[in-house]
Amino acid sequence: MIFHNRYLAITDVALMGRHTFDNLPGWEDFAAKSSPGDIVVTASNFGAGSSRQQAVDCFKSLGVRAIIARSFGAIYERNAVNAGLPVLTGDLLSSGLRSGEEITVDFATGEVIRPASGEVFRVAPFSEIQMAIYRRGGLLGEG
């Protein structure tokens, strides 16, 4: 679970991040190890079953710059786009990236660059609508 339901009483987004993944064995320290600007790279169906907005807001609270997954749960993806959290679809797990390794992402082209080696990978770029929502800071311009 991305954001456990025992924390649903927390309404201040700034306080949500510290609880990200803290109920998942092996990931309890995710929030403590993350830094603003981090990009989360993950597998298939990320966020499936996470229809609550807190599952998106906890990453925004941590300053996560983007989430790249092979695929997303439909409701999670829609909530993330609406909130202005960049989510991109692509398989970077097979690229050999290591935790903590630096990458840069161009949301418009879908280019992912590994500066250390100059390697370029591709993920699905933002649609025009997703880019407009992102530039606005979220669907309501609040993000």
Query: Which of 22, 32, 25 lies closest to 2 in space, CA to CA?
Result: 22
List, edge to edge, every strand of the sheet that includes 111-114. Answer: 104-105, 111-114, 119-122
Q: What is the pLDDT of residue 13?
A: 95
> Using one digit for the tens of pLDDT, what is the confidence trace for 21-54?
999 999 999 999 999 999 999 999 999 998 899 9
Q: Which CATH architecture has domain 5-136?
A: Alpha-Beta Barrel (3.20)
pLDDT confidence of residue 1: 92
Ordered by start, the domain boundaries in the chain are 5-136
The pLDDT of residue 28:
96
Could you tell me whether strands 39-42 and 66-69 are parallel, antiparallel, or unpaired per DSSP bridges?
parallel
Residues 89-108: tens digit of each pLDDT: 999 999 999 999 999 999 99
Strands 104-105 and 111-114: antiparallel
Contact by Cβ (8 Å): 52, 8:
yes
Q: Express each pLDDT in 116-136 by its tens digit.
A: 999 999 999 999 999 999 999
The pLDDT of residue 142 is above 90: no
Can you tell me the distance from the alpha carbon of 42 to that of 71, in angstroms, rounded to the nearest whole number?
Answer: 9
**pLDDT of res. 143:** 53
Q: How far apart are CA 95 and CA 6, in angstroms?
A: 36
Contact indicator for 64, 80 with CB cutoff of 8 Å: no
